[in-house]
Amino acid sequence: MFALVDCNNFYASCERVFNPDLRDKPIVVLSNNDGCVIARSNEAKELGVPMGAPAFEYEKEFIKHNINVFSSNYPLYGDISSRVMNILREYTPDVEVYSIDEAFLKFDGFEYYNLNSIGLEMQQRVTKGTGVPISVGFAPTKALAKVANRIAKKYAEKTNSVYVIDDENKRVKALKWLKIEDVWGVGRKHTQRLNNIGVINAYQFTKLSDSWVRKHMSVVGLRLKHDLEGKPTLDLDSPAKKKMIATTRSFEKMLLEFKDVNERVGTFAISCAEKLRKQKSHCNAIMVFVNTNGHRKDLEQYGRNIVIKTDYPTNSSIDLNKYAQLGLKAIFKQGYHYKKAGVIVMGLTPENQNQLTLYSKPNPKHSPIMNIVDRMNIAYGNNKIKFGTQSLGRQWKMKQEKLSPRYSTNLNEIITVTV
């Protein structure tokens, strides 16, 4: 059996953990730079705040309905997510962290256990240990576990947020209830195609022929169909390493001078290098791009990118900073107002599998230097150690005007209790 554990309104729930006064009050969490709504509590949903709502357009609505607005606090959310996943691993070692607020669990050898009781116990342990409420769905396959979780969340009062699909009648009833557009992995185009042939719910989808599904939805759609039929086809996935890594930003203001854009591009390249080392990868190519402000029709527009192949696989900040500067010099044009730039590293390979070259090789001093830099940045805070091309006094910060404290990851922001 599989279980899908989903944290309810995760970002909003995290904000409530250290601020109990927010319970039963409407909450919305905004995207990077406080742009739009990316998370809502149930109370905010009932007030009609849509997902993706631009914050500036709904500012009056937030005030009118006393909606609590927060900037995204990713250090807090990531730490609480890690705590939730660690508790779940106490029940089975087979855990696939699907997203920051979801995980699949595989329960082999639990045929004679009461899964509903296990689900309720998991729910109590996670809520007590982290303060975050969860919903749990059990089923013979991953796709059906998704359906079971949806039922557990939709009918929380009746199911106590735990639902088990463990027989054919429950499977059929659940699939007839689930609309085809709500099926995991069925996107908008497939929904339209299925609606055109009269498929409205998930059960009707499972009644299509394998040949039709494979022809119109590929082998991925066929696997999904088999999973919904109760035939285990999709197993737990191990976390995949990224095939490319990007760091891109819009500038706080438009930049005219090469030295200013170069400082930003160098910082982005160093950030990509840190991410490469974190996942133990090297890159074999680097792309640098710059763009002007497309919204300023009164200004001349310019945008260009360049890809540079590295002389050898590398994750050295020193190397990637050098290549990024070479790329920027090749595409930068004086006289334009630049608003955005970015660095993308590509052709990623494992750092322990290096293709040797005849004429060039990595500097053996770089690796130990990078290890020291990474350790010091972890110990004393990110970007404490900088390179010469970076501004020593500048810290890149998103617009986060409504940021809550990082209660669990920063000692200076730990919760204060008044007796």
β-bridge pairing 68-71 and 27-30? parallel
d(CA 371, CA 325): 23
- Please give the pLDDT value at position 384: 66
d(CA 102, CA 226): 22
Q: In terms of Cα–Cα distance, which of 312, 313, 350, 346 is closest to 243? A: 346
Prediction pTM value: 0.72
- In total, the chain counts a number of residues equal to 419
* CB proximity list for 252: less than 8 A, separation 6 or greater: none
- Give residue-wise pLDDT tens across range 133-190: 999 999 999 999 999 999 999 999 999 999 999 999 999 999 999 999 999 989 999 9
Cα distance between the two ends of the chain: 48
Q: 151, 137 in Cβ contact below 8 A?
A: yes
- Give residue-wise pLDDT tens across range 88-123: 999 999 999 999 999 999 999 888 899 999 999 999
What structural domains and CATH numbers belong to the chain?
2-164 (3.30.70.270), 168-228 (1.10.150.20), 245-380 (3.30.1490.100)
d(CA 264, CA 70): 27
| Degrees, nearest 5: CA angle 281-283-285 | 170
So which residues are the catalytic ones?
Answer: 102
Q: Residue 328 has which token pair? A: 């920027």
Q: Residue 193 has which token pair? A: 């195609």
- Please give the pLDDT value at position 357: 66
